[in-house]
Amino acid sequence: MAVTPEFAPRALQTLSGLRFSTATSAFQIEGARTLDGRGRSIWDEFVDEPGNVIDSSTADPGPDSYHRSAEDAALLAGLGVDRYRFSISWVRIIADGMAGTKPNTAGLDYYDRVVDELLGVGVTPEPTLYHWDLPTALEAAGGWLNRDTVHRFGDYVDAVADRLGDRVRHWYTINEPASTSLQGYALGELAPGHTMLFDALPTVHHQLLAHGTATTILREHGAEQVAPAINHSLILPETDTEADHEAAATLDLIYNRLFADPLLLGEYPDLEALGAQMPIRDGDMELISTPCDVYGFNYYNPTTVRGVGEGPLPFEMVPTPGAATTGFGPLWPIRPDTLRDFLIDMRTRYGSKLPPIVISENGASFPEPEVGTEPIRDDERIAYLHEHLEAVAEAIVAGVAIVGYTVWSLLDNFEWADGYTQRFGLVHVDMNTGHRTPKSSYQWYRDLIASVRA
């Protein structure tokens, strides 16, 4: 049996200033796709198209949190987290996303109940307003390629804040816009499944505008903390050749700087090499760079690239030499030192423009049984989380302001195009029954939080 890793006293002291959390998203855990006035999103279309999801699963019922939210709140209370990051389904609130559509009372009632259940067990709710579930009708009108989607997002945010803003003070606006733009619109790996390559760049601008718009609306409703949740990866060249270094610089620009620069500096990096321009209008960059209260930072792994001479993209993603990997395989290497290095690089690159950082997602998937029997030991996940929290502590010692850490995920859930084949949860979920069984990582995280507070 593996020995459970422990933190040195100095590391525990360093981590004592963090607020601990765990996270989920609506489409991945709620189920109930056709109940109580919920509309259809691009992910409903994606999962209903045969061949798009590796195991043909459809996210329904899955963990069925639409009917089991009280169980989830009890699990969070037992875990001892300070906060819970979950997402609100746009199509539960505005079924078609269109102008003039009345908010769905049943959808608002559900999230009203979730918020009250969390507050009732002493957990601060931190809703994310967009976690990839764009209404189908808006996608038909151009989706994130269409500037009007920004205004429709504002309508939805206003409806949610009007209902929940008396109790919810912490919000995330958009989750992982890089994944939406790159995997959803450029490469076709995720919904809506377009393969537009660099013609997808306007989706970046419009998502960032949506963040700025939401920030303004939320603050008008009394929000105390508003942040985006931006996914980042340290980009590594496969070798020391000029071609590989150029490839790494290009992907760093596309995946990291394309999002962080406008949010923190109010300007895009030089995109001339990509042959692309952003559809910027007067006032856009000021809105996008509205100061964040914290900077949500999602991190899983580094990315190693090789330069390629020809092809639609000037780089190829390759395995990271010498690194162990998660259940996703060779392109998901485990290198916790790169989290520390990237955090330090962010501080160096953005200086005083960088607000305090919250690690808004960090976690790993490993092979586990479909049916859980206690105890479910997930020592690989414990090792992954332990090593990445040590990296966070090292970054704090190096001078990076980090105020929160979030494990992805509370529950095993629907992992997008990989369906139920990848399990990230601290809690095992039997997808046939919805039964929840805490894993050993749940106990480890609970004990860590208690130790930090001692």
User: How many CB atoms within 10 Å of residue 287?
Assistant: 18
The sign of the CA dihedral 101, 106, 112, 115 is negative
Give the CATH number of domain 9-453; options: 3.20.20.80, 3.40.50.300, 3.40.50.12780, 3.20.20.70. Answer: 3.20.20.80
User: How many CB atoms within 10 Å of residue 51?
Assistant: 6
Structure tokens belonging to residue 400: 């990076």
Summarised one tens digit per residue, pLDDT across range 229-271 is 999 999 999 999 999 999 999 999 999 999 999 999 999 999 9
- Would you state the pLDDT for residue 1? 46
Q: Can you tell me the distance from the alpha carbon of 164 to that of 438, in angstroms, rounded to the nearest whole number? A: 30
Contact 184, 194 (CB under 8 A): yes
Structure tokens belonging to residue 236: 């590594």
Q: Which among 83, 15, 4 has a CA at the least distance from the CA of 389?
A: 15
**Region 415-426 average pLDDT:** 97
Q: Which among 149, 2, 7 has a CA at the least distance from the CA of 448?
A: 7
Q: Can you tell me the distance from the alpha carbon of 389 to that of 363, in angstroms, rounded to the nearest whole number? A: 11
**Helices within 16-146 (DSSP H only):** 26-29, 42-48, 65-79, 90-93, 105-120, 136-140
Residue extents of the structural domains in the chain: 9-453
Helix, strand, coil percentages for the chain (3-state, nearest 5): 45, 15, 40
- Would you state the pLDDT for residue 8? 84
| pLDDT range class, residue 30, cuts 50, 70, 90 | very high
- Would you state the pLDDT for residue 42? 99
Residue 372 has pLDDT above 70, yes or no: no
Contact 259, 208 (CB under 8 A): yes
The H or E element containing residue 299 is strand 295-299
Contact 409, 24 (CB under 8 A): yes
Summarised one tens digit per residue, pLDDT across range 102-158 is 999 999 999 999 999 999 999 999 999 999 999 999 999 999 999 999 999 999 999
Residue 388 has pLDDT above 90, yes or no: yes
- Would you state the pLDDT for residue 310? 79
Summarised one tens digit per residue, pLDDT across range 164-209 is 999 999 999 999 999 999 999 999 999 999 999 999 999 999 999 9
| pLDDT range class, residue 374, cuts 50, 70, 90 | confident
**Region 398-424 average pLDDT:** 98
* Three-class HEC string of 238-296: CCCCHHHHHHHHHHHHHHHHHHHHHHHHCCCCCCHHHCCCCCCCCCHHHHHCCCCCCEE
Summarised one tens digit per residue, pLDDT across range 69-92 is 999 999 999 999 999 999 999 999
Residue 369 has pLDDT above 90, yes or no: no
- Strand 235-237 relative to strand 225-232: parallel, antiparallel, unpaired? unpaired
Could you list the active site residues? 176, 361
Percent of the chain with pLDDT over 90: 92
Contact residues for 387 (Cβ-Cβ < 8 A; gap 6+): 5, 334, 336
| pLDDT range class, residue 342, cuts 50, 70, 90 | very high
**Region 281-289 average pLDDT:** 99
- Would you state the pLDDT for residue 196? 96
More confident residue, 57 or 372: 57
Counting Cβ atoms within 10 Å, is residue 426 exposed (0-12), middle (13-18) or buried (19+)? buried
Q: What is the pTM of this model?
A: 0.97
- Would you state the pLDDT for residue 334? 99
The amino acid occupying position 291 is P
**Region 412-423 average pLDDT:** 97
Residue 454 has pLDDT above 90, yes or no: no
Distances in Å between the alpha carbon of 94 and those of 37, 46, 143, 196? Answer: 9, 19, 15, 28
Contact residues for 288 (Cβ-Cβ < 8 A; gap 6+): 208, 209, 211, 212, 262, 263, 266
| pLDDT range class, residue 64, cuts 50, 70, 90 | very high
| pLDDT range class, residue 2, cuts 50, 70, 90 | low
- Would you state the pLDDT for residue 5? 86
**Region 282-302 average pLDDT:** 99
